[in-house]
Structure 1
Amino acid sequence: MKNCTQTQLIHAPRKAPQYISTVQPPLFRASTIIFENTNALFDRHWTDPYDYSYGTHGTPTTFTLGDNIAQIEGGDFCLLAPSGLSAINLVNSCFLKHGDEVWVADNIYGPNMEHLNNLQDRYGIEVKVYNSIDINTFTPTKKASLLWLEAAGSVTLEFPNLIALVKKAKELQILTVLDNTWGAGLAFNAFDFSSEHLSVDITVHALTKYPSGGGDILMGSIVTKNKEFYHKLFRMHAIQGIAVSGDDVAQIQRSLSSMKLRYEHQSKSTLTLLEWLKEQKEFVQVLHPADSESAGHKYWKDICKEGHSAGLVSVIFDSKYSLSDIRKFCDALTLFKLGFSWGGPVSLVMLYNLKDMRVLNHPHLKQGLLVRFCIGLEEPQDLINDIKHALKLLE
Structure 2
Amino acid sequence: MTDNKETQTRLIHAPRNAPQYIQTIQPPLFRASTIIFKTTTHLFDRHWSDPYDYSYGTHGTPTTYTLGDQLAQLEGGTYCLLAPSGLSAINLVNSTFLSHGDEVWVPDNIYGPNMEHLRNLQQRYGISVKVYDALDVSSFTPSVKAKLLWLEAAGSVTLEFPDLKNLVKKAQQANVLTALDNTWGAGLAFNAFDFSDEHLSVDLTVHALTKYPSGGGDILMGSVISRDQTLHHQLFKMHATQGICVSGDDTAQIIRSLPHMRLRYQQQAQNAQEILTWLKQQPEFMQVLHPADASSPGHCYWKETCLEGQSAGLLSVIFDPKYDLAAIRRFCDGLKLFKLGFSWGGPVSLVMLYDLKPMRVLPNTHLQQGLLVRFCVGLESAQDLIQDIQNALQQIEK
TM over 0.5: yes
> 16, 23, 29: which one pairs with 2:31?
29
Please list every run of 5 or more consecutive structure 2 residues that lacks an aligned counterpart in the other structure: none
Secondary structure in 2 aligned to 1:57? coil
Q: CA offsets per residue over residues 43-95 of structure 1, 9 Å max, x none?
A: 00011110100000000000000000101100000000000000000000000
Deviation for aligned residue 1:394? 2.4
> 189, 192, 198: which one pairs with 2:191?
189
Aligned to 2:260: 258
Q: Distance in 2 between the 1:49 and 1:356 partners?
A: 45
Q: Distance in 1 between the 2:184 and 2:16 partners?
A: 49
Residues 1-395 of structure 1 mapped to structure 2, 5 A cutoff: 2-395=4-397
What amino acid sits opposite 1:320 in the alignment? K
Q: Distance in 2 between the 1:12 and 1:114 partners?
A: 51
Deviation for aligned residue 1:393? 1.7
Q: 1:292 to 1:40 in 2, by over 3 A?
A: same
Q: 1:10 to 1:303 in 2, by over 3 A?
A: same
Q: Distance in 2 between the 1:74 and 1:314 partners?
A: 29
Q: Distance in 2 between the 1:319 and 1:13 partners?
A: 72
What amino acid sits opposite 2:64 in the alignment? T
Secondary structure in 2 aligned to 1:120? helix
Secondary structure in 2 aligned to 1:147? strand
Q: Distance in 2 between the 1:315 and 1:14 partners?
A: 59
Q: Distance in 2 between the 1:170 and 1:16 partners?
A: 55
Deviation for aligned residue 1:224? 0.3
Deviation for aligned residue 1:392? 1.3
Secondary structure in 1 aligned to 2:332? helix
Q: Distance in 2 between the 1:353 and 1:67 partners?
A: 39
Q: Distance in 2 between the 1:112 and 1:310 partners?
A: 21
Q: CA offsets per residue over residues 141-171 of structure 1, 9 Å max, x none?
A: 1110000000000000000000000000001
Q: CA offsets per residue over residues 110-169 of structure 1, 9 Å max, x none?
A: 000000000000000000000000001001111100000000000000000000000000
Secondary structure in 2 aligned to 1:177? strand
Deviation for aligned residue 1:15? 2.8
Q: CA offsets per residue over residues 152-195 of structure 1, 9 Å max, x none?
A: 00000000000000000001110000000000000000000000
Q: CA offsets per residue over residues 269-325 of structure 1, 9 Å max, x none?
A: 100011100000000000001010111000000001311111000000000000000
Secondary structure in 1 aligned to 2:255? helix
What amino acid sits opposite 1:118 in the alignment? N
Deviation for aligned residue 1:13? 2.9
Normalised by the length of structure 2, the TM-score is 0.99
Q: Distance in 1 between the 2:381 and 2:119 partners?
A: 41
What amino acid sits opposite 1:278 in the alignment? K
Normalised by the length of structure 1, the TM-score is 0.99
Q: CA offsets per residue over residues 351-391 of structure 1, 9 Å max, x none?
A: 00000110000111000000000000000000000000011
Secondary structure in 1 aligned to 2:394? helix
Deviation for aligned residue 1:261? 0.3
Deviation for aligned residue 1:17? 1.3
Q: Distance in 2 between the 1:257 and 1:383 partners?
A: 26
Q: Distance in 2 between the 1:14 and 1:377 partners?
A: 44
Q: Distance in 2 between the 1:223 and 1:95 partners?
A: 14
What amino acid sits opposite 1:378 in the alignment? E
Q: May I ask how many residue pairs the two structures share in their alignment? A: 395
Q: Distance in 2 between the 1:73 and 1:182 partners?
A: 12
What amino acid sits opposite 2:120 in the alignment? N
Q: Distance in 2 between the 1:156 and 1:268 partners?
A: 19
Deviation for aligned residue 1:262? 0.2
Q: Distance in 1 between the 2:189 and 2:210 partners?
A: 17
What amino acid sits opposite 2:352 in the alignment? M
Deviation for aligned residue 1:241? 0.4
Q: Distance in 2 between the 1:69 and 1:3 partners?
A: 46
